[in-house]
């Protein structure tokens, strides 16, 4: 789907998802790209001393999964990200498979704006929740 959905084909309630298992490489590459080398993400000995008792993925890695579903599936290629709210509910660790789901909650056809509920889960437990606003030209 080169240009994704046409906005006229979208309906409230439409949903799509993807799953991705978080790897060591994901965390190292994210740290390298962003410069976020917080030891809770990259240093196991330090992370063991925290409330998490071990390393966790950067929260924005899960946010990136939301971006991927929106950009590649619904509303798909050609859409423009305008905004995102996020609430981090639980940690994501190396080896966790995160399932990301986006669901249309509102369409403003005249402005070509689509509002989504966004959720990331691990084995049914919500780890990230929020809302996104997309433009579908």
Q: Which domains does the chain have, with CATH numbers?
A: 7-135 (3.10.129.10)
Residue 116 near residue 104, CB atoms below 8 Å: yes
Q: With a cut of 50, which residues of the chain have pLDDT below it?
A: 1
Pairing state of beta strands 97-108 and 113-122?
Answer: antiparallel
Residue 7 near residue 79, CB atoms below 8 Å: no
Q: Among positive and negative, which fits the CA dihedral 42, 56, 29, 83?
A: negative
- Token pair for residue 88? 């981090």
Q: Tokens 């509002």 map to which residue? A: 115
Per-residue pLDDT tens over the stretch 59-77: 999 999 999 999 999 999 9
Which alpha helices (H) appear in the chain, and where do they start and end? Answer: 24-34, 39-42, 44-47, 59-72
Q: Which residues contact 53 (CB under 8 A, 6 or more apart)?
A: 47
- Alpha carbons 91 and 37: distance in angstroms, whole number: 17
Phi-psi region of 7 (alpha: psi -120 to 50; beta: other; left: phi over 0): alpha
Confidence (pLDDT) at 77: 94
Residue 136 near residue 104, CB atoms below 8 Å: no
């Amino acid at each position: 789907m080169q240009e994704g959905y046409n906005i006229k084909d979208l309906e409230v309630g439409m949903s799509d998802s993807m799953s991705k298992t978080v790897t060591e490489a994901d965390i190292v590459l994210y740290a390298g790209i962003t410069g976020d080398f917080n030891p809770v993400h990259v240093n196991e000995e330090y992370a063991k001393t925290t409330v998490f008792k071990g390393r966790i993925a950067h929260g924005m890695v899960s946010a990136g999964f939301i971006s991927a579903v929106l950009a590649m599936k619904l509303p798909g290629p050609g859409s423009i990200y305008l905004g995102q709210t996020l609430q981090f509910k639980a940690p994501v660790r190396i080896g966790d498979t995160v399932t990301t789901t986006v669901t249309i909650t509102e369409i403003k056809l005249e402005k070509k704006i689509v509002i989504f509920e966004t959720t990331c889960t691990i084995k049914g437990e919500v780890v990230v929740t929020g809302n996104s606003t997309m433009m579908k030209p």
